[in-house]
Amino acid sequence: MVHNFNAGPSILPYEVLQQASEALLNFNNTGLSILEIGHRTPVFEGVLNEAVSLVKELMQLDSEHEVLFLHGGASTQFMQVPMNLLEEGKTAAYIDNGIWGSKAIKEARLFGNVEVVASSKDKNHTYIQKEFTVPADALYLHYTTNNTVEGTQWHSIPETNVPLIADMSSDILSRQLDFNRFSLIYAGAQKNVGIAGVNLLVVNKNALGKVSRKLPTIMDYRSHIDNGSMLNTPPVFAIYVSMLTLRWIKKMGGVTGIEKLNNEKAELFYSTLDSLPLFKGLVAKEDRSKMNAVFIMENPDLEKQFLDVCKRENLYGIKGHRSVGGFRASFYNALPVSSVQVLVQVMKDFGTQFG
């Protein structure tokens, strides 16, 4: 039994892997692999339609919000968002809470003015700066809901009067939010809703078509909406795995059901962390991420030994991000509570041995 705490790509529900592997050989009793069917076939259109309607249902989206599955990973959205929504000579507000937000800011500067209205850089992104002012004429406010590398998370939606845009790559569908408050949400699927190779987007169609620049067709959200995510060949298999994962989320009681389990995992982990003097959390308690826990050891000499123990106990993906060091354990939707129970037991035993 292995326990997969990888940060991304990351754990998938076992039944999703099973169904996906069956479809690799014989998809829906067609005798063909999901990898060798046309995307404009009724069977695949069924998959895409089901994925879109599951997102609408799970996120309780209103009719203004469209769902897209696009190529390119979340990093493409760092560019595609400002290309579609930011105007030369106008300003977009960005919050800089970590590595991913900083990358989004860099790309947005290619398309207009960027005002960084809040930053947690002064303390190595170990907290969330929640007080800030957005210029009234800002075209939108962009933020990262969960900072995958640094281990912080926004626990409520920032208050603002301008259109809100979020990179939800590492916590999409992990908790209940009023998703209709966003003009645009994007997420690489490989953390909470599938595998690498596809982005899930939720776009308010009324936010589009306002910039004066000419948009390449493939970059224009409107052409993807008009073509139902089939402007060109979509990442067929990645969308299929997302559809299976969405079905699984629904089966688990939807977003509310998943959120309950995610809360349980986070509480179990952080209460253990706080009870063991050997370990130390790196971020402000009130801003701790329920998806990615970042922690270190008071005595760094023991870190290698702890990683060896994790390896022996089949705990995968505990090593911290290269830019932060220490440890990171990711508790994405598909990670069972039982894996966190094993991790905290290993930490307690280690604490007893060396504490």
Ligand X SMILES: *Cc1c(COP(=O)(O)O)cnc(C)c1O
| Candidate ranges 56-64, 84-92, 165-173, 208-216; the one touching ligand X (CB under 6 A) | 165-173
Q: Is 97 in the site for ligand X (CB under 6 A)?
A: no
Catalytic residue at 191? yes
Q: Is 75 in the site for ligand X (CB under 6 A)?
A: yes
The single residue of 96, 154, 167, 220 carrying the catalytic annotation is: 167
Nearest distance, CB of residue 172 and ligand X, angstroms = 10
The single residue of 100, 154, 265, 287 carrying the catalytic annotation is: 100
Residue of 66, 167, 220, 259 interacting with ligand X (CB under 6 A): 167
Catalytic residue at 285? no
Give burial (CB, 10 Å; 0-12/13-18/19+) of 277: exposed
| Candidate ranges 72-80, 207-215, 271-279, 331-339; the one touching ligand X (CB under 6 A) | 72-80
Q: Is 188 in the site for ligand X (CB under 6 A)?
A: yes
| Footprint on residues 8-27 left by ligand X (CB under 6 A) | 8
Nearest distance, CB of residue 265 and ligand X, angstroms = 18
Residue of 3, 66, 67, 73 interacting with ligand X (CB under 6 A): 73
| Candidate ranges 89-97, 167-175, 244-252, 305-313; the one touching ligand X (CB under 6 A) | 167-175
Nearest distance, CB of residue 7 and ligand X, angstroms = 8
- Residue 223 CB contacts under 8 Å (≥ 6 apart), including other chains: 217, 231
Catalytic residue at 210? no
Toward ligand X, which CB reaches closer, 186 or 270?
186
| Candidate ranges 18-26, 163-171, 227-235, 258-266; the one touching ligand X (CB under 6 A) | 163-171
Nearest distance, CB of residue 169 and ligand X, angstroms = 3
Beta bridge partners of 292: 330
Residue of 170, 192, 204, 245 interacting with ligand X (CB under 6 A): 170
Q: Is 320 in the site for ligand X (CB under 6 A)?
A: no
Residue of 84, 148, 153, 289 interacting with ligand X (CB under 6 A): 148
Q: Is 144 in the site for ligand X (CB under 6 A)?
A: yes
Q: Is 289 in the site for ligand X (CB under 6 A)?
A: no
Residue of 27, 44, 100, 179 interacting with ligand X (CB under 6 A): 100
Q: 4-40 burial, b if ≥16 CB within 10 A, otherwise e?
A: bbbbbebbbbeebeebbeebeeebeeeebebeebebe
The residues annotated with a catalytic role in the active site are 100, 167, 191
The residues that touch ligand X, with contacts defined as CB under 6 A, are: 8, 73-75, 100, 144, 148, 167, 169-170, 188, 191
